[in-house]
Structure formats: C-alpha cells, structure tokens
Amino acid sequence: MPLTNTAIRNISPRTKAFKLSDQKGMYLLVNKTGKYFRFDYRYGGKRKTLALGVYPDISLAEARKKLEDARRLLENDVDPGQYRKKTKGLIIEQAENGFESIAREWFTKNTHTWTQGHSRTIIRRLEQNAFPWLGGCPIKSITAPDLLSVLQRIESRGALETAHRVKQICGQIFRYAIATGRAERDPSADLRGALPPTKPKRMATITDPKQVGELLRAIDSYQGNLITKCALRLAPLVFLRPGELRKSEWQEIDIDNEVWRIPGERMKMRDPHIVPLSQQSIEVLQEIEPLTGRGRYVFPSLISSQRPMSENTVLGALRRLGYAKEEMSGHGFRAMASTLLHEQGWPTDIIERQLAHAERNKIKAAYNHAQHLSERKRMMIAWADYLDLLRRSAITS
C-alpha cells in the first residue's frame, strides 16, 4: 500500500532500522537518525540503491518526482546513480571554473600589488557590473557577444568609462584563466572598437603663472583649520597624489636629511617613493609638527587623530577659496607642476620619476625609485623657489 504524508509523519523509529514500501521500487528507510527515501533498481545485472532525499526536507511528492526521473533514465538505458555523479561533478566543475570563482581567485592573487582603494574599486566594479550576468558561466564558454552585452548594459546608463574599465579588468581575468589552463582565449580581445572611445578628461588645474601666484596667495590667506592650511601649502611643493599626501605619516619624514620616503604600500604603483624636501616644504612641516607630531599622521582627520585627513578636506578648502571644480582640484597640483616644469626645460625622466608615474620597463623600474635623486632634489628646490617668485608676483606671464 502506497505511503501517505500522515503515515510518514507519525512513524517513530524502532530499535532496528526498517523499511516501508511505497511504489515502483521506492521505499522509506527509518532508523534512529531519520527517515530516508530510497529506490532499489537493477542495472547491468547488479542491484543498486539510489538515495532520493531525507524526510521532511524532501516531501513524499518530491521523492516520487525524483523516482519518475530515475525510472525514465533507466528506460533509456542510463544508470541514474552514475548520471547523478556525473551531473554533480559537472556542477562542481562549473562552479570552480565559473567566471566569478576565477575572477575572485585572480583578485586574491593580485590585490597585494594594489592600494586598498584600487582593490575596492576593482572588486566593486566586478560585483556591480559583471558577476550578476557572467558570474555563474563557465569561463571558457563566455563569448565576445556575451561580454559585449554586459559592457553595453554599463554604457547604456551613461558610464562609458566604467565600461572600458570593466572590459580591461575582464581581459586580465580571461588571460589569467588561460595561463592556469581553464580557458583557451580572451574574448575581450575581439571587442576592440566595439565600444565608443572615451573622451579624455581634462584635469582641473591652473598652469598660467599669474593665476598660480594668485592661487598661492589665496592659500596663504586661508582662514580655516591649521592642518588643512598646511596641507594646502604643502600640496603644490611636493605634488603628490591627494591620497599619498593626506595619509602621510611622521615616521616617513626625515627633516634632518631633507627627505620624505613613502613606502610602496602607500603608493598607487606599489613602489617606494622619495620626495626631496625643499626648505619651503620643511618650514610647512615644522609649523604643523607641534600640533600633530606626537601622532601617526602629519595631517590627521579633523574628527579623529587616529585617522588621516578626509579625501574631501583639501578639495573643500579649494572650493571655499572660490575655486570651482572645473578650475582646480587636489590632483591639479600634479598637472600644474608637470606642465610648468616641462615648460622650464627640466628632463621628462626626472619629472616623471618625481611624479611617481609607472615605469613601463620592469627591470628599470626595480631600481628606478632612487634614480636621478640629485637632479630631482635640485629640481624640487628650484620649483619651490619658482613658486615663491609667483607668490610675490615677480613673474606675471
């Protein structure tokens, strides 16, 4: 007599395990640990048993549905037990070789080479733009049209630059999969020209000498917090990236030897960087040292000395001085220095090294962080003196 839900629910375990038959070879095995649906069948002349689920996680109706699926496989001369093993193995293989799984593996292996901020940006771009649509797909099955569909979705919301960035990141993931034997080609390579080119962003900066002098005088007249004012004064002298400046630590600065050594983990390109300090830079640091010198950060947060200055502090100060976002930015001090130093005839290698731009030649980059140091020191001193001249309006054009 077939089983019923009521009968199964009311069955209590006994001292020894026992079976209750249902239909078509299915039965319920009851023991001290639970109630199990089973199906006995013969294949290849051998008696076999297929597990159909555990009650009540699997209902009687669900177990009977699994039974019918198994019997259909037998009718087609397929062993349902072996079929399940192969299917389960395929699911596991697809999960291990899925795009998201490999992407996260690639991310873990490379994240130590990036800054924390860059790492967060990369994984956020993947989680928001790629994983929802490509994450579960076996990486070797993803085609150029599949990837293009994802990129066009990003483009359609007006984020063309992000679409290009995601394409670039995906290309690195596909190449990693090729190197580790889990893909055969990189479909992103087939998408050259498939997205409209991005318009290069003009860095908001000031390069006219007269206007630079006006900016420097405006900074000198800043009436806000001393920490913010000192950060504003130091920014044009050292032209670091805003994050490198605001996270500066006292242990990195050697005033006696007039040098600032920033460890690689704090730099965008993960290479240690040396900043020769002009006398003007040292004066700024000496002014703020009595206020923040006992702590970790040269420019601590205005809220907590345990954290560095907010990324919006310098930007907000520039706005309060009357400079709109299209006129000047925190990054603008770098573009200002690069433009004017080139105009003054300083060698590009020296300027680029002081800007801590990436060295394309990896062998050269391995020792290049200290290269041209004497020339760079001379340039930084001359640059600080030049800014003083602009501040005093000695140069007006």
Residue 1's nearest CA partner among 23, 26, 29 is 23
d(CA 348, CA 251): 30
Amino acid symbol at 170: C
Is 357 designated active site? Answer: yes
Answer for the pair 40, 48: CB distance below 8 angstroms, yes or no: yes
Choose the catalytic residue: 66, 182, 241, 377: 241
Choose the catalytic residue: 32, 47, 202, 367: 367
Residue 368's nearest CA partner among 381, 378, 358 is 358
For 66, phi then psi, to 5°, come to -65, -35
d(CA 30, CA 21): 11
Calculate helix-pair angle for 160-179, 99-110, nearest 10 degrees.
90
Choose the catalytic residue: 72, 85, 217, 357: 357
Answer for the pair 270, 114: CB distance below 8 angstroms, yes or no: yes
Choose the catalytic residue: 331, 353, 377, 391: 331
Residues 6+ apart with CB under 8 A from 291: 226, 227
Choose the catalytic residue: 153, 165, 268, 378: 268
Residue 124 CA, distance from chain mean position: 6
Is 164 designated active site? Answer: no
Residue 307's nearest CA partner among 293, 297, 292, 294 is 297
Give rounded-to-5 percent helix, strand, coil for the chain. Answer: 55, 10, 35
Pairing status of strand 273-276 against strand 259-262:
antiparallel
d(CA 166, CA 172): 10
Encoded tokens for 46: 């051998």
Q: How many CB atoms lie within 10 A of CB 44?
A: 8
Is 176 designated active site? Answer: no
- Chain position carrying tokens 């706005």: 319
Choose the catalytic residue: 273, 334, 353, 369: 334
Sign (positive or negative) of CA dihedral 313, 314, 318, 321: positive
Is 118 designated active site? Answer: no
Vertex 98: Cα angle to 93 and 101 (nearest 5): 105
The set of catalytic residues is 241, 268, 331, 334, 357, 367
